[in-house]
Amino acid sequence: MVPNSRKSNKKDESKRRLSSTERRRLIIEAAVPLFAQEGFRGVTTKQLAKQAGVSEALLYQHFPSKDDLYAEVQRFSCNPSEELRIMLEGITPSTKMLVLLLYFMTKMIVEHVGFGGTHDPLFPRLMLHSLLDDGAFAREHFHQVTNRMVSMIQRCIAAARAAGDLVSDESDDALVFWFCHHTLVAINMYQLPLVPVMPYHGGSKDALTAPVMRFMLRGIGLTPKATRKYVQFDELAAQVEQWLCNAGKGQDA
C-alpha cells in the first residue's frame, strides 16, 4: 500500500523527501567530517551541499548561515554520551579504578577507541580548530564531558592516597589529572597528519599505551608496590572491553 515500502529502487530512494528534522540531521552529520578536516573557512557551502547530497539552497532552508551550521556541528559533536555517565555511576573510587580509568582514557584518546568501536579522529580535529579560534567548543566539551571524568578520577586519587598507594607530597590532584590528560591529548594531536610527525610513530598505535600509562601513573605518584599490583594490562584490557560492550544495555551491568 505505502508507495515507498520497496527500498530496492535507488531512484525512489534518492528522490525521497525527508522530514525537516531528518534532513537537518543528515546535513549536520555530513558536515561534521568536512568541518573537522578543513576547518570552518576550509569548507565551502558547495562542498557541504554535495556531501549532504542536496542543493546549496536547501542548506539555507535549514540553517540561516554557514556559521549557524558550523555551530550546530559543534553542538552535535560534543553531546555527552549517556554511556559514559552510566559507566561512571557504577564506579566506587579506588586505586584499582584510578588505574582503570586512566587506561580507559588512554584507549579513547590515543587509540581512538570509543563506545561504538574505533572512530576517525574527527573530534580532536574539531577541538584543535576551536582552540585556534575562540575556544568555545573546547570549553563546552569540558563542561559537558571531561569534568565528569575529572571529579571521578580526583576521587579515585583521594582513595588511592588514603589506601597508601600514593607517595605523599604536596601535589594538586586536579592539576596532576590534567597533566595526564594533556599528555594523551598531545600524543593524539601529533598523530593527526598522514605523514607521521613524531619518531615514535613508527610502530602500532597501542605500542604507546603501556609506556604512557607508566609515565602517568608515576607522575601521579603511584607507588612501585601498587603499580605491580594494579597495572596488569591484560586485566585492564578485559575490563575496558566489558565496559565498552555493556554500554547502552542499561544499568544492569
Give the binding site for DNA (CB under 7 A). 3-4, 15-20, 23, 43-46, 53-58, 60-61, 64-67
| Strand pairing report for 113-114 and 117-118 | antiparallel
Binding mask 203-222 for a second copy (x = CB under 8 A): -----x--xx-xxx-xx-x-
DSSP 90: T
- Which one of DNA, a second copy, none interacts with residue 57, CB within 5 to 8 A by kind? DNA
Site size with a second copy, rule: CB under 8 A: 51
- Which one of a second copy, DNA, none interacts with residue 54, CB within 5 to 8 A by kind? DNA
Angstrom CA distances, 119 to 46, 130, 137, 155, stand at 26, 20, 19, 29
Helix (H) or strand (E) holding 117: strand 117-118
- Which one of DNA, a second copy, none interacts with residue 195, CB within 5 to 8 A by kind? a second copy
Q: Pick between residue 76 and residue 190 the one whose CB is nearest to a second copy.
A: 190
- Which one of DNA, a second copy, none interacts with residue 20, CB within 5 to 8 A by kind? DNA
Nearest alpha-carbon partner for 186 in 172, 194, 198 = 198
Nine cell digits for residue 99: 588505574
What is the Cα 25 distance to its own chain's centre? 20
C-alpha span between 230 and 232 (Å, rounded):
6
Nine cell digits for residue 47: 562542498
From the list 179, 205, 206, 237, which residue makes contact with a second copy (rule: CB under 8 A)? Answer: 179
C-alpha span between 122 and 36 (Å, rounded):
5
User: Using the rule CB under 8 A, is 233 a contact of a second copy?
Assistant: no
Q: Pick out residues in 80-139 that bind a second copy (CB under 8 A).
A: 125, 128-136, 138-139
- Return the axis-axis angle of helices 20-38 and 66-77, rounded to nearest 10°: 90
User: Using the rule CB under 8 A, is 161 a contact of a second copy?
Assistant: no
Q: Could you identify the residue written with the cell 597495572?
A: 231
CA 232, 215, 129, 46 torsion-angle sign: negative
Q: Pick between residue 106 and residue 247 the one whose CB is nearest to a second copy.
A: 106
- Which one of DNA, a second copy, none interacts with residue 179, CB within 5 to 8 A by kind? a second copy
Contacting positions for a second copy (CB under 8 A): 39, 41-42, 125, 128-136, 138-139, 142, 167, 169, 171-172, 174-176, 178-179, 181-183, 185-187, 189-190, 192-195, 197-200, 208, 211-212, 214-216, 218-219, 221, 224
